[in-house]
Amino acid sequence: MATRSKSSRRWLEEHVNDPFVKKAKKDGARSRALYKLEELIDRDRLLKPGMNVVDLGSAPGSWSQLVAARLDGRGRIFALDILPMAPLAGVEFLQGDFREDDVLAAFETMLNGEAIDLVLSDMAPNKSGVDAVDMPRALYLSELALDFCDRHLRTGGNFLIKLFQGVGFDDYVRELRKRFDKVVIRKPEASRKRSPEVYALAMGKRATPK
C-alpha cells in the first residue's frame, strides 16, 4: 500500500510540473494529448478542408477539439468513446463501448455511408498495472480500430493510432504495412519518455491488402 501511495505521489508531482499540462490549461485544451496530435498532423499535413474524420477513443475531446478548430466547419468529425464527452461544436459524438457490436452498428448508422478520409485512434484500456493483462487488451482495441478502417476508411485514406510497444506490436505493424502504402512510427514530444506508447501513422490505404 505504501508503494502504491509513493507511486501516486510521484505521478501527481510529474503531472503538476508537466509543461504540456500547464500549456493545456493556458490554451483551454481539454487535455495535454492535444499537443501529441498537433505535432503529428502538422508534421505530415494530415488535415485538409472538407475531410471526414473519425476520432476513436475521443474523450475528453482534445483531439476532436483540435480537428474541429483546424477544419473550421469545412468537413465532418465523428467521435466515439465509452466515456462521456462534453459537447464540441462541429463534432458528432456517440457514447458507447467500441467492443460491442450494437455500438459499432449505431456508429456506422451515424456515419451514414460517408467516405472517411482519416481515422484517429487514441484508445487505451483501463490499466491494471499487469502487462500480461494490459497488452492483450490494448492490442484487441487496436485490432478493432484496424477492422474499422478496413470497412470505412476510403482507398488512399490515412490512419493514426496509439500503440504500446510489447508483445504483438511488431505483428500489428506488419498488418498495417499490408494495408497501407507507407507506415511510420512516431513518438511526439508530448508523449512521456518512460511511456511505452508510440503512434503508428499508416498512409495511403490500398484498395486491397498485399
Measured CA to CA, the distance from residue 162 to residue 141 in angstroms comes to 10
Detail the residues annotated as belonging to a binding site for S-adenosyl-L-methionine.
Answer: 61, 63, 81, 97, 122
Using alpha carbons only, how large is the chain's radius of gyration in Å?
Answer: 17
Instruction: Outline where the chain has alpha helix (H).
Output: 2-17, 19-27, 33-44, 62-71, 101-111, 131-152, 169-179
What's the mean per-residue pLDDT of the chain? 89
25: annotated active-site residue: no
Q: Indicate the residue type of 171.
A: D
Measured CA to CA, the distance from residue 37 to residue 70 in angstroms comes to 12
Catalytic residue among 36, 162, 187, 210: 162
The model's pLDDT over 117-154, given as tens digits with 9 standing for 90+, comes to 999 999 988 777 677 678 889 999 999 999 999 999 99
Asked if 64 and 79 count as a contact pair (C-beta separation under 8 A), the reply is yes
Task: Find the range with the poorest average confidence among 5-19, 36-50, 170-184.
Answer: 5-19
**95, β-bridge pairs:** 81
Residue 3: the pLDDT is 47
Residue 25: the pLDDT is 78
Q: What are phi and psi of 121, to 5 degrees?
A: -135, 110
Detail the residues annotated as belonging to a binding site.
Answer: 61, 63, 81, 97, 122
The DSSP code for 30 is S
Q: Compute the average pLDDT of residues 156-161.
A: 98
The model's pLDDT over 48-86, given as tens digits with 9 standing for 90+, comes to 999 999 999 999 999 999 999 999 999 999 999 999 999
pTM for this structure?
A: 0.88
Residue 17: the pLDDT is 63
Give me the long-range contacts of 123-127 (CB less than 8 A, separation at least 24).
Answer: 123/56, 123/57, 123/98, 123/162, 124/57, 124/162, 124/164, 124/197
Could you give all domains of the chain from N- to C-terminal order, each with its CATH number? 31-205 (3.40.50.150)
Task: Find the range with the poorest average confidence among 10-24, 74-88, 112-126, 195-209.
Answer: 10-24
